[in-house]
Amino acid sequence: MADKGKRKRRRADADSDDETRLPFKDTLKPDSAILKILKGFTAATAAASSSSSKTLTLADIDLDAKCREVSELNLLSVQSEIESQILKIARSILAGNGFGFDVPSRSATNQLYVPELDRIVLKDKTTLRPYANISTVRKTTITTRIIQLVHQLCAKNIHVTKRDLFYTDVKLFQDQSQSDTVLDDVSCILGCTRSSLNVIAAEKGVVVGRLIFSDNGDMIDCTKMGMGGKAIPPNIDRVGDMQSDALFILLVEKDAAYMRLAEDRFYNRFPCVIITAKGQPDVATRLFLRKMKMELKLPVLALVDSDPYGLKILSVYGCGSKNMSYDSSNLTTPDIKWLGVRPSDLDKYKIPEQCRLPMTDQDIKTGKDLLEEDFVKKNPGWVEELSLMVKTKQKAEIQALSTFGFQYLSEVYLPLKLQQQDWL
């Protein structure tokens, strides 16, 4: 009996040690109080979305003549655009002007951040890609081949992956990065989104939580997909009929943090949808996130590493990537809040020094370059946090929070962030 009493005391002491070892756990309010705060935030977001229901376009701010954007086209329209391009080339050859493509330039100098739209767009500069030039003959040949393959896909009404496309002519393409780059060029030439070409990327992103949607006619309940979640369909046209009782969308940078939250069923404690692209954002995840935001009118909170690349990933979701600025109107999700992990959190949450990583010279350069970007300058909070990161030369991963316990992220850090509405 005495031994049992000692064991109980030891367990009680261990439990009390855990309590004192978890910074800020004692400041957490009951879940009901945090949920009340979240419901107010969600209602305000929905009201703001309804009041500004019309999305600004380039034409609304008189930039449609100076910048270009692509649009979603059906298969017949894509075929028609391709045939128009071929006729244009045939006329050029018959007129003695040779064979070439006018390709919209996707260089950094032809990009423009538009504050009114809060995204990066492509300006109207084009470059000639002639066949009769030794420096461009190969790329012109690849462009012609990609256009031919896309025309076949439209005629047969089938989808292929970018990898499939590469293997149709390995000898010509040599490397998939070359066929991928030209595929984006073809989207610009034809004036359509990449998904309109019926070429998709392999499944990468996953989603779990309080979301039901139809995938090619099948109803998917994301609360019943296990901790692995549901793979995001590579073809957004298959997705429809979204329903949710969530209060927010939690966008997570990395798979490890996603798995922790999914296994802990964080979405049941605080009703939400959790989504990740497992690193660099892919097109399917960006399209899916935007669709959720626009249809469900829910706030989006982002959880990324406290380093320059975490902020870059967040900016790709919110403002678009320079590589695909031609399609930013379809790929960007407006008004994403930076929840964490932020540089100021390292001291605020007493992250031990051994869990912080020194920034490399390249990290510091990337941070300084980001401070010069207009989409960062627009948000004073981002500037302050990024300046702190560059000044302290310290970075940290989301997993640094595990120093306080494997479930500290879901049990304390995120609930406290939500309670304090601590986002930028």
Question: Binding site: what residues are annotated?
Answer: 253, 305
The DSSP code for 411 is I
Angstrom distance (rounded) from CA 406 to CA 291? 32
Q: Which of 113, 167, 317, 326 is catalytic?
A: 167
Is residue 273 helix, strand or coil?
Answer: strand
413 among known catalytic residues: no
| CA dist 127 → 104, 111, 130, 136, 285 (Å) | 6, 14, 9, 11, 31
Angstrom distance (rounded) from CA 33 to CA 139? 60
Which H or E element spans position 214? strand 212-215
Tell me phi and psi for residue 252, to 5 degrees.
-115, 135
| Count of C-beta atoms within a 10 Å radius of residue 221 | 12
Feature table: binding site for Mg(2+)? 253, 305
Strand 100-104 relative to strand 126-130, pairing:
antiparallel
Angstrom distance (rounded) from CA 319 to CA 335? 9
| CA dist 257 → 18, 39, 129 (Å) | 21, 24, 45
Q: Which residues are catalytic?
A: 167
